[in-house]
Amino acid sequence: MSDQSNGQQQAWQPPAPQAAMPQPVMYAYPPQSKGKGWIVGLVAILAVFALIVIGMASCASAFSSLGGLTGAAGDGASGLTGDTIAIITLDGTIQYDGSTCSPEGLKAKLDEAENNSHIKAVVLRINSGGGTATAGEEMATYVKDFSKPIVVSSASINASAAYEISSQADYIYTERTTAIGSIGTAMTFTDLSGLYDKLGINMTDITSADSKDSTYGNRPLTDDEIAYYQDMIDQINEYFITTVAEGRNMSTDDVRALATGLTFTGMTAVQNGLADEIGTLQDACDKAAELAGASSSYGTIELKQASSSSSLSSLLDLFGLSVKGDQTTSQTEGQGSDGSFTQ
């Protein structure tokens, strides 16, 4: 190539490279940390819950300190000054749960009433369809051996083991529509072997004796096992009948005739001797005061069983909820997987 401007020739040179195009800057953003808001919210909710529980406990203590009509775990009964009728509520299944529906719980409340000179008598407010036979037996003994008058006020149901307990009281009130009685014993066995076969499940029990697995539900009972359990049922039922007969001052034949396993209305129960009179809780308190020779201006106090869930139960009640999962109105008796009997 020639340079015509100056007539000199120069060697060809490649054009100077153009500047590289700027590349977009890429930023590596650090991973965002998870929000902590949910933790703060949870802590706030727990704090509010704790304040409500503490407030409820404070209110309960305040009412007790004012000498109100209810006491818990003996605190309310310590400040009594006049003749008083104690109300103990059995609401739920008769079993070993530490509540007043258990031997330990009922005994604790009866001892509390026994040791307080101002408490002249006890009213058992019963709303129970029964429960564990052995627990009912123990509780009936505690009622029978109690030195002060005991009157029963029956709510919607007073059946089976609950009625066995009631039969040892000095007087039984019932409402007209109360389901009361259900004297009888039954055991329920469930045979799941057919279901296991359909599901392809093979159950094998290794036992020390042929009948050790009779209550497991993995096979049907043999004829000998049915006869054996029937004998157990008959023994327990005969004890039930005898206990009621002694408590109600009836003959065993009369009670046996009523031991159909069915409940009666309160009206029929008064007629056949299983209850004494139609009446309310107030009537029962008046009768208890009369039997104890207490003043006509007597007071009442409810002896409640303290429990760790009491505050939670009260709180849930405010929202229309309940944790009374142990309650039942079932009148069916059976045998648990542990071999225990229920009434």
Check: CB of residue 87 under 8 Å from CB of residue 252: no
Q: Give per-residue pLDDT as tens, 304-320.
A: 976 544 444 444 444 44
Q: How many C-beta neighbours within 10 Å does residue 87 have?
A: 23
Q: Give per-residue pLDDT as tens, 128-181.
A: 999 999 999 999 999 999 999 999 999 999 999 999 999 999 999 999 999 999
Residue ranges covered by each domain of the chain? 69-318
Give the pLDDT score at 50. 67
Q: Read out DSSP for 229-240?
A: HHHHHHHHHHHH
Rounded mean pLDDT of the chain?
Answer: 81
Q: Give per-residue pLDDT as tens, 223-271.
A: 999 999 999 999 999 999 999 999 999 999 999 999 999 999 999 999 9
**Structure token pair of residue 121:** 């008598």
Segment 97-104 long-range contacts (CB within 8 Å, at least 24 positions apart): 97/326, 98/305, 98/307, 99/305, 99/307, 99/326, 100/304, 100/305, 101/128, 101/131, 101/326, 102/135, 102/139, 103/135, 103/138, 103/139, 103/142
Give the pLDDT score at 343. 78
Q: Are strands 179-181 and 150-159 parallel, antiparallel or unpaired?
A: parallel
* CATH of the domain spanning 69-318, picked from 3.20.20.210, 3.30.2270.10, 3.30.70.1400, 3.90.226.10: 3.90.226.10
Band of the pLDDT at 11, cuts 50, 70, 90? low
Q: Are strands 70-72 and 84-91 parallel, antiparallel or unpaired?
A: unpaired
